[in-house]
Amino acid sequence: MKFAVLVAILAEELEEKAIDAAKQAGAGGVTILDARGIGSEEKKTFFGLTYEGSQSVLVFVLEKKLSVSVLKRITRDLDLASTSKGVVFTIPLEHIAGIDVGQIERFEERIKDDI
């Protein structure tokens, strides 16, 4: 069984919407990290203080085929193709240990349904 890591780096206000979209597409658990980024545009300043909006990094470990569906769903539901509020990408996962047995069973059932 092949796995992928799906990473979504989004404006913090889109975090819940992205998680809902991922779950609707079949994703299970997610690891959420707080982040901040430096973009190409100048940040807003107010009395000499610079505001850099908060970001969230969502990390999903998914079956490879499912990762594509989740990526497409997040991109569509958050309209990432026409806004600059986030980026979503997958990385192939070569080795994995400690994944929830229930999650593996759900992946196996999906594969059986596809066959």
Beta strands in 18-101 (DSSP E): 31-36, 44-46, 49-51, 54-63, 86-93
How high is the mean pLDDT of the chain? 84
Q: Each residue of 6-38: pLDDT tens digit?
A: 999 998 999 999 999 999 999 988 999 998 776
Q: What's the Cα-to-Cα distance from 95 to each of 1, 31, 53, 58, rounded to whole Å?
A: 11, 18, 34, 20
Domain 3-114 belongs to what architecture?
Answer: 2-Layer Sandwich (3.30)
Query: What local confidence, expressed as pLDDT, does residue 87 receive?
Result: 93
Is the CB of residue 92 less than 8 Å from the CB of residue 56? no
pTM: 0.78
Boundaries of every domain in the chain: 3-114
Of 9-23, 40-54, 72-86, the range with the highest mean pLDDT is 9-23
**95/111: higher pLDDT:** 95
Residue 55: strand pairing partners? 11, 35
Is the CB of residue 3 less than 8 Å from the CB of residue 95? no
Is the CB of residue 3 less than 8 Å from the CB of residue 47? no
